[in-house]
Amino acid sequence: MGLSLFVAACGGGSDDVGLGGGDGGGDDNGGEISLGGDIPDYFPSDFYLPEGMTVKGVSRSGEAISLTGTFESGDIEAIQADMIAGLQAAGYELLSNDQLAAFVKNGVGRVRVRTSEFLGELTVSVDIDTWTDQQLDELRALFVEDTIVSGRATAVVGGETYEAEGECRLNGANRSFYADDVTITLQIDETRDPTVVYADVTTPDGIVFLTEYDADLSYESADSQLSASGDMVENYNEAAGTVSFSITATCDV
């Protein structure tokens, strides 16, 4: 039975890990390849290597690092459990473990491991993308489920006040309010650099005011309350110019 998994593993490698003999060199694209032998310095020194695994090769090309290893015998599920335990003990974060398991660690990057069985040989293929901590935070945010709670918002646009009931969607540093009748929207995503702030207000007579992409807006964001202020424009009416606004949304957390 074949099984594939993505897994980031870290921790003290076993002394029983086999290292096949081989020579290192370069590839045609300027990368580095090590076939067996000692694991190169560019591979994370604390990476967890299960007992009984023979490293066949390690390579690096740009920001990508790969390792391939094999087992003479064993059980895929047992190898999976061993690697997950090793990486979590070493501080790797499990993002997903539904056939495709993904892990990240600041200072290392995104690490994926594919474990498969072919013609009786168990093979582990490790892929490391040396992403920045910011990129990893953005990836983490994709795996955090939204917390949805009731909320209410007050918007002041051009001196006119509007109120609406709705819901707040809270996802770490990414928070939003959406009115049930779609009259007020406020989105503040601090996981992006720079922070993304967007707002729109629809008046009772159907006029839509919204913030422009590059607008210079003031904002505050917390799970209990988020707010923004600055200038909006009337949708499809550039001649109307800008109008000042403020929105405050309160969330029932």
Task: Read off the pLDDT band of 73 (50, 70, 90).
Answer: confident
Task: Read off the pLDDT band of 30 (50, 70, 90).
Answer: low
Whole-model pTM: value is 0.55
Sign of CA dihedral 24, 28, 32, 34: negative
The pLDDT tens digits of the residues spanning 43-72 come to 998 888 888 889 999 999 999 999 988 988
Does 35 or 99 have the greater pLDDT score?
35
Cβ contact 58:38 at 8 Å: no
- Which of 25-29, 46-50, 82-86 bottoms out in mean pLDDT, i.e. has the lowest? 25-29
Q: What is the dihedral of CA 154, 156, 160, 162, to 10 degrees?
A: -20
- Integer CA distances (angstroms), 47 to 44, 89, 90, 117, 146, in order: 5, 11, 9, 22, 32
- The DSSP code sequence of 41-76 is TTS-TT----TTPEEEEEEEETTEEEEEEEESS--H
Cis amide leading into 204 (omega within 30): no
The CATH code that applies to domain 18-142 is 3.30.310
For residue 24, pLDDT over 70 is answered with: no
Q: How big, in percent rounded to 5, are the helix, strand and coil portions of the chain?
A: 10, 50, 40
Residue 29 burial (10 A CB sphere; 0-12, 13-18, 19+) = exposed
pLDDT mean over 228-246: 95
CA distance 97 to 198: 33
The pLDDT tens digits of the residues spanning 158-189 come to 999 999 999 999 988 899 999 999 999 999 99
Domain ranges in the chain are 18-142, 147-251
pLDDT given at position 1: 39
pLDDT given at position 27: 54
Q: What is the mean pLDDT of the chain?
A: 85
Structure tokens that stand for 104 in this block: 């990240």
Task: Read off the pLDDT band of 139 (50, 70, 90).
Answer: confident
Does 45 or 205 have the greater pLDDT score?
205
pLDDT mean over 88-108: 83
- Which of 11-15, 95-99, 212-216 bottoms out in mean pLDDT, i.e. has the lowest? 11-15
CA-atom Rg of the chain in angstroms: 26
Cβ contact 199:232 at 8 Å: yes
Q: Tell me which residue has tokens 């081989």.
A: 22
Structure tokens that stand for 1 in this block: 């039975």
Task: Read off the pLDDT band of 36 (50, 70, 90).
Answer: low
